[in-house]
Structure 1
């Protein structure tokens, strides 16, 4: 059966529970060796602190955590018990349906926001979320990559391709939960200037998800003894490829690549194309379309000849993330091979 799928100009990925990107720290900001300050940075390169709840809450001018006067009261000392840590901006919704609103709605949202909205999942009987954009007016209607203000599902990447801005009032969107995920996260950013009302979005949790928002079912690989085109990836790093690569992939196959999260501290998968050649997209009355494609269900599609490098984030508490390759009944190409690595730092 011939199949047409509208193609978004977005290479996509799918995404425990890190609050980084919500104005919150992604983990402890102090070291295990008791050193502190800019001369003793964290692995991220940021200056380290002292744990204000510990017995050594102060950083001395020589970069040691302690509790004496020489640690807490000197001119260059920092007493972290007196430092106000930002609470960040993480908003959680627990109902089966509800309303997401930008800060201050219906008045203009504030500048310089860095917030996250988590739509929580009661159990795995719920497969996704449907959003109704009753009002959606953000800055950036003439900006194709939404570089000023935007709302974005964090698990669809590259981020610029998944951002939403401008006037999208009246539109409807659906998104999938990843296996084991406890929530589906959206990030909201605003720049230093704003005169826009923001958004009011109704949501409802779904127990039935239709294609292309449903988990794909792997088919048999032709001439492979009945083997299903399903790969469970349990390694931290390696590569994935289409069947028979570097020879042409077969027609009429649906392949699933499921990446198991090797450690709860892993935040995402860094993936890069080493070679990528599928059928080229073509124009249709509805825009560009792909008949053979690679994607993460619920996000955009990738076809043709492209190079990509993306960070595929896990949703909060997700146990795995799935990618999907589909081919139609004609004109098979060489396919793809892509490297991957599960990583601990997604900032």
Structure 2
């Protein structure tokens, strides 16, 4: 038997308290006159005076303490970063060296003139502390500076407005209050995360040399993770007449940008008006972060907090001539079809860029423009106040537009303008234009109301292929589809899945269970015999509701301290719900690389996109089954993968070798190989029905987690993955039924199918420990060689192991979904056997 045939996934002290004892001694008097009051203050008067003086002294001290301590606390440090162009100066090389006499002399002049400017503003002069020039660059001379202010509480907005008014005034008319002429000032408040005194600070400067690459890396990379509480900045320069290109070929930071992040600026100081992008998390090397400046300078800043340190990053910096064809955009386009895209697509386009394309097609024809990808920054005010694409006379687009957005003009001429401002870049767009006959805009195709053209077979197939649903209106449904009362036709497997797919609930009517079955709250049907058996056979646990058992009720989570939550799927959602924090423990898992959505009907996965995917090989032979990493030493696969046959003892650990971090089967030498120490198939696995189809494998030695090797999150026993939810399947299995295995790891998205419907389709073979998923119109499925691999679901920005690829009736056949072992059913078993 071919190995690939093994199946189908935290008071003032009393010492200062003066307890005065007033010991009044009354001496006997020999003369009564001596007992009469004498003129003067007397004892009482003296005491009153002393008390008054003490009160005044205490009040004075209190006022002084308030003035010098508490009042000081009512002031906040505000730092404004900016740049100013000095029109009457020419750049000299010495200005690049902060220790040179030329740099210091010009810097002193700039700081004196900035002080003079601030002194003219009542809102700024009284709070101004001082300025520091950070750098100079070409452009006559551009000075980059920081200005510090001590601003009383409640005055921050006024100071912000005063700085902006000053900058606007200088930009309009120029400013000369000394030997320097300032004709352009850009300034904004510095992000407070960038000047914390608690952080260690480092600064580097690098200048590109000819066409050679300059390398920058996070401190410690690649030998150790970056350090906590650190602020690092790199001032990058190129030669005059050039721009800089920065490419991160490794990028692996904490996923929360509030903690660790990288910022890239089109400037030499961290001024938000020139911020291109802030990045954190993990980025796949197959789709590297790539930035291009608008001039010959760039600043990279890196900030870390006190915990959660990751490997870091490595980036390459080169300079490109401003005349290079690589930077060219716009021009004249003709013919009957063609394409164009934003500069540097699919990586980030540069700031301060304007491109214009003039399209002219043959007379008598009209033009249809289709944006296959469209991601353009909207600007801080939205409404396309930042970057945009304008189809002149027709529309202006920005933000993220749906795939294959179409714009048409009833003319043979079209002008498209792309414009980016000084900040916040994005990936841009890719566009295709083609001609159409005014009388027949969609020859041989169906025209959607949004002008999109689709193939006729997609009409009335239950799927919104147009994007505006016009292809699914007024349809005649065949027997294999649900006929919605509103005229839509929907795939039969969406019936009774708890999701209103029709829009009028037609697909959720008459969804009862058969005799002898119990209907769960989510409409799932299970055998009446499973009611109150202590096991959650309903996905929502409702079969154990009202039973005399001390267990959590439906849609709940059992905390480590034995208490229950009413919040569904709370694990690793970033919020501590359990008093003991058990819902947020063990959450260093399931981080998925940036991706874009053989597995039959799938597509190639990005490198390191699914770092928990394992390839299981018979020693010295080809890939046989898949598996998923759940810890440094344990992986999960399917039980049917480890059942003995006449010639091969699949149950024996010595038969196997596991490849972790593998992407392409032909590059096994790049992966991490481990042998198997022990294999634990589930004791109740049924080889005839594939029930309880799950097994555990212990690696002979632990692996070290990295960008390419990471565990997937395990769900809890109460996690619910409802019908209709999208899940992802991955593997190197056959790309068609009966075909050979894939060389490159494949991925595909499918949908969980209602178990009642699935059981009907699969002739009653579905148990409560199986999950059905697929596309019942066919074309997408797992296949031979994908067995044991993961069926993963995205929840709270992490991927969870919802199922294990188990079996199916062929591959990608119509009305024949893939069957997966339901992992939540085996969570306690996994814990018992592995401790994970």
Asked whether the two chains share a fold, i.e. TM above 0.5, the reply is no
**Greater relative CO, 1 or 2 (CA 8 Å, sep 6+):** 1
Q: Which has the larger radius of gyration?
A: 2
Structure 1 or 2: more strand by fraction: 1
TM-score w.r.t. structure 2 length? 0.19
Structure 1 or 2: more helix by fraction: 2
TM-score w.r.t. structure 1 length? 0.40
